[in-house]
Copies of this chain bind each other. A is one copy, B any other.
Amino acid sequence: MPRTKLSREEVLERIGEEFRCHGYAATSLSRIAEATGLGRASLYHHFPGGKDEMVRQVFRKVGEEVGEILALLEEPGDPRDRITASMKAVERFYAGGAKNCLLGAMVLSGGSELFADELAAAFTAWIDTLSATIRNAGVPAGIARRRAEDAVMRLQGALVVARGMKDTGLFRRLLSELPNQLLEESS
């Protein structure tokens, strides 16, 4: 229970941490109250819609942050540099594999039906933007898309395995390999 008051962004950040780490169902209001230092009633003042509204606002915030990472891909300049830069940002975002992905957590913890639209949209945004960047580097459209899909799957899987095996090395290795694999010549 921090004594310094938290800004709205910081509160959302803390709540997001809980959902990322424990999933939807296992994240209770008590946990959120403890993580934010706010009482239950205060939480309902900020989020009248309760837990669902919290999740949606966290989705929005995380969506913005991911948008900044994807924006790195859309900047002008060498595609390889852009992909490398965005992978660095991804590594920071997931704390080198120590933090879960909100999408994965929601998919596998009971939020899959409640937030189906948000989830599908988020995955699609990742794949579409990454695909466009690879295509932009001269890779044919069909291959670019397959590689983008593959990259997103591997990122998700790496976070799951990293957590299951308590070893983030796999995640970090993946990030270092991805730029080359996404842009290589052959099929």
- Residue numbers of A with Cβ under 8 A of B are 22-26, 100, 103-105, 107-110, 112, 116, 119-120, 122-124, 146, 149-150, 152-158, 160-161, 163-166, 170, 173-174
CB-CB < 8 A to A100: which residues of B?
108
CB-CB < 8 A to A174: which residues of B?
150, 153
| CA of A158 to CA of B105, assembled, Å | 14
Q: Chain B nearest CB: distance from A99 CB in Å?
A: 12
Contact check, B161 vs A160: say whether CB atoms are below 8 A apart.
no
Contact check, A163 vs B108: say whether CB atoms are below 8 A apart.
yes
Q: Which of A104, A109, A120, A160 has the most CB of B within 10 A?
A: A160
CB-CB < 8 A to A124: which residues of B?
165
CB-CB < 8 A to A107: which residues of B?
108, 160, 163-164
| CA of A158 to CA of B149, assembled, Å | 9
Stoichiometry, copies per complex: 2
Q: Chain B nearest CB: distance from A138 CB in Å?
A: 21
Contact check, B112 vs A163: say whether CB atoms are below 8 A apart.
yes
Known contacts being A22-B110, A25-B25, A149-B170, is A120 close to B164, with CB within 8 Å?
yes
Q: Chain B nearest CB: distance from A140 CB in Å?
A: 17
Please pick, from B23, B146, B165, the residue contacting A23 in the complex, using a CB distance under 8 A: B23
| CA of A104 to CA of B160, assembled, Å | 6
A116 and chain B: residue at smallest CB distance: B166
| CA of A158 to CA of B158, assembled, Å | 11
Instruction: Jot down 9 A-B pairs with beta carbons below 8 A, ordered by A.
Output: A23-B26, A26-B26, A104-B160, A107-B160, A107-B164, A109-B110, A124-B165, A150-B154, A153-B154
CB-CB < 8 A to A104: which residues of B?
104, 108, 160, 164
